[in-house]
Amino acid sequence: MSAAILDRFKMLRPLAKGGMGEVFLADDEDTGERAVLKMLRDDVEARGAVDRFEHEIHVLRRVFHPLIPRWLADGEWQGRRVVAVSHVEGMSLAELMGRLKQRLSATTALFLMIDVLHALQKAHSATTDDGLALGLVHRDVSPHNIVCDQRGRAHLIDFGVSVDIRFTDVTPGTLVGKVAYMAPEQASCFAVDARADQFAVGVVFWELLTGRRLFRAESDQRTWKNVLACIVPEVSQFAEVPASISRVVSRMLDANRTRRFATCSDAADALLSAAIDLPMGEVTPIATLNEAQLRPPVSPRVTTLVLDPLADAAW
């Protein structure tokens, strides 16, 4: 980082470490707010990794939404590329589900997913300075990249493997993202669009409602085959939810992307319309969860960013 930017942030502690980078919690001494510093590891030399990191910085500069971490600064430090973003105080949905002793209510899950869909819609509609659509696809929507804050809102993080579909980097035989949450076209290494992200939200929602894994199996290869087969049981087979909710989930998870909702905004609207059929008294305020409702944490810290796109911790 430049000296001016380095003076601005005070590192507090590590948050996460992956194959390509490291993440640190920091104080933004200009604003008094907490920040997250994400930097490439000094031994990363792969051109693709560097290009992806630069692309992520470009995305963060262009996407503005209260449920997406805000770009603060970027630069270099000791020859390493660094980006600083606003910090989301909370825990990943993956950790939350691993620690909860019972499932979240369907109403709580629905409103968390509406948050994620709205954040994705903003990313999908981002434009260049000239007003041209960027054509962004996140490609890694999963419980690990959704952070629940103390107000009960869901934030979408980590655009590290996002892609501009105008200049797609899909290489035959290369999978990018977490296989268990991929749309069939993404798992097939075909070109993807915003509807692949919608599918991923559908997988997360299905799993929240049922308390089961949709595609994940005992091996990555088996999981991949399950995604390609795309056999999706009705939510109602495993949970008592209104038929209106089940229909929306099934449409989001259609193997044929032309039969999914046209946009994430449309999917969010459909969920909101179906919410009238849910008992509103069942909302679980995330901030009120106490130790009696949570299992002990796996580690003493909350990992708010996942750097390894193939990481898929159990929950």
pLDDT of residue 11: 85
pLDDT of residue 91: 87
CA distance 199 to 257: 8
Q: Is the pLDDT of residue 309 over 50?
A: no
Going from the C-alpha of 239 to that of each of 104, 234, 272, 282, the distances in angstroms are 12, 9, 19, 15
| pLDDT one-digit tens code per residue, 255-285 | 999 999 999 999 999 999 999 988 765 555 5
pLDDT-wise least confident of 148-162, 178-192, 205-219:
148-162
- Report, at the CATH architecture level, how domain 7-86 is classified: 2-Layer Sandwich (3.30)
Choice between 2 and 90, residue whose per-residue pLDDT is larger: 90
pLDDT of residue 165: 62
How does residue 302 score in pLDDT terms, banded at 50, 70 and 90? very low
Q: Find out whether 169 and 163 touch, Cβ atoms under 8 Å.
A: yes
pLDDT of residue 129: 79
Choice between 97 and 225, residue whose per-residue pLDDT is larger: 225
The set of residues, in sequence order, having a beta carbon less than 8 Å from that of 154 and lying 6+ positions away, is: 67, 93, 112, 113, 115, 116, 119, 146, 147, 148
Mean pLDDT of the chain: 82
Q: Which of 250, 235, 234, 244 is nearest to 274 (CA)?
A: 244
Choice between 284 and 87, residue whose per-residue pLDDT is larger: 87
Q: Which of 247, 256, 249 is nearest to 196 (CA)?
A: 256
- Assign 47 to helix, strand or coil: helix
Residues carrying CATH 1.10.510.10, the chain? 90-288
Long-range contacts of 263-268 (CB under 8 A, 24+ apart): 263/121, 263/124, 263/194, 263/198, 264/117, 264/118, 264/120, 264/121, 264/124, 264/194, 264/197, 264/198, 264/201, 265/117, 265/118, 265/121, 267/117, 267/198, 267/201, 268/114, 268/117, 268/118, 268/121
pLDDT of residue 293: 52
Going from the C-alpha of 265 to that of each of 115, 127, 173, 268, the distances in angstroms are 10, 17, 31, 5
| CATH top-level class of 90-288 | mainly alpha
Mean pLDDT of 193-222: 95
Q: Which of 81, 262, 99 is nearest to 160 (CA)?
A: 81
Q: What are phi and psi of 224, to 5 degrees?
A: -60, -45
Nearest-5° Cα angle at 73, 72 to 75: 165
Alpha helices in 11-105 (DSSP H): 47-62, 93-99
pLDDT of residue 184: 95
pLDDT of residue 312: 32
How does residue 315 score in pLDDT terms, banded at 50, 70 and 90? very low
Q: pTM for the complete prediction?
A: 0.84
